[in-house]
Amino acid sequence: MTGRLIRVRGQVQGVGFRPFVWQLAQRFGLTGEVLNDPEGVLIRAFGPDLDGFMQALRAEAPPLARVDALEAFPLDTLAPEAFTIAASQGTGAETRVTPDAATCPDCLAEIRDAGERRHGYAFANCTHCGPRFTILQGLPYDRAQTTMAPFEMCAACQAEYDNPADRRFHAQPVACAACGPKVWLEADGAETEAWLPEAARRLQAGEILAIKGLGGFHLAVNALDADAVALLRTRKRRPSKPLALMARMEDLRRYAQVTDAAEALLRDPAAPIVLLDKGPEPLPQDLAPGMTQLGWMLPYTPLHHLLMDALQGPLVMTSGNLSGEPQVITNAEAREKLTAFADAFVMHNRDIARRLDDSVERAAPPMVLRRARGRVPGTLPLPPGFADTQVVAYGGQMKGAICLVKNGQALLGHHLGELDEPLTWDAFLNADRDYAALFDHAPSAVAVDLHPDFRPSRHGAERAEREGLHLTQVQHHHAHLASCLAENLWPLDGGKVAGIILDGTGLGADNTVWGGEVLLGDYHGFERKAWLAPAPLVGGDMAAKEPWRNALVRLDQAGCEDRADSLFPDQPRAMLRMAAAKGLNAPACSSVGRLFDAVAALLLTLQGPQSYEGEAAMQLEALATRSPQSEALGKTWSDTAGFGTRPAIGTDALFYNIADGLARGGHTPGQMAFAFHQWVASHFAAKARALVTSGQAQAVALSGGCFQNALLLELTTKALGDVPVLTHRTTPAGDGGLALGQAVIAAAQHQAHR
Q: Which active-site residues does the annotation give?
A: 18, 36
CA-CA-CA-CA dihedral for 274, 275, 279, 282, to nearest 10: 110
Q: Cα–Cα distances in Å, from 245 out to 222, 224, 242, 614?
A: 10, 11, 10, 20
For residue 606, give the nearest of 132, 145, 290 by alpha carbon.
290
Phi/psi zone of residue 100: left (φ > 0), alpha (ψ -120 to 50 degrees), beta? beta
Contact by Cβ (8 Å): 299, 120: no
Buried b (16+ CB within 10 A) or exposed e, 170-179: bbbbbbbbee
Determine the distance from the C-alpha atom of residue 339 to the mean position of all C-alpha atoms in its chain, rounded to a whole number.
Answer: 29
Dihedral sign, CA of 731, 732, 733, 738? negative
Q: What angle do CA 340, 345, 350 make, to 5 degrees?
A: 125
Based on its alpha-carbon atoms, the radius of gyration of the chain, rounded to whole angstroms, reads 27
- Collapsing DSSP to helix, strand or coil, 579 comes out as helix
455-467 helix and 422-438 helix, angle to the nearest 10 degrees: 40
Distance CA 205, CA 190 (A): 19
Dihedral sign, CA of 571, 574, 578, 580? positive
Q: Report the relative pairing of strands 497-507 and 513-521 from DSSP bridges.
A: antiparallel
The residue ranges of DSSP E strands in 129-193, in sequence order, are: 183-187, 190-192
Distance CA 341, CA 321 (A): 9
Distance CA 179, CA 570 (A): 65
Q: How many CB atoms lie within 10 A of CB 184?
A: 16
Helical segments of 35-154, H only:
50-59, 105-112
Distance CA 593, CA 712 (A): 12
Beta pairing partners, 75: 3
Q: Which amino acid is at 194?
A: A
Contact by Cβ (8 Å): 558, 652: yes
- Collapsing DSSP to helix, strand or coil, 211 comes out as strand
Phi/psi zone of residue 651: left (φ > 0), alpha (ψ -120 to 50 degrees), beta? alpha
At 458, which helix (H) or strand (E)? helix 455-467
Long-range contacts from 200-203, C-beta under 8 angstroms, 24+ separation: 200/307, 200/310, 200/311, 202/343, 202/344, 203/311, 203/315
The residue ranges of DSSP E strands in 255-395, in sequence order, are: 273-277, 293-297, 315-319, 344-348, 360-363, 366-370, 379-381, 391-393
Maximum Cα–Cα distance across the chain = 91
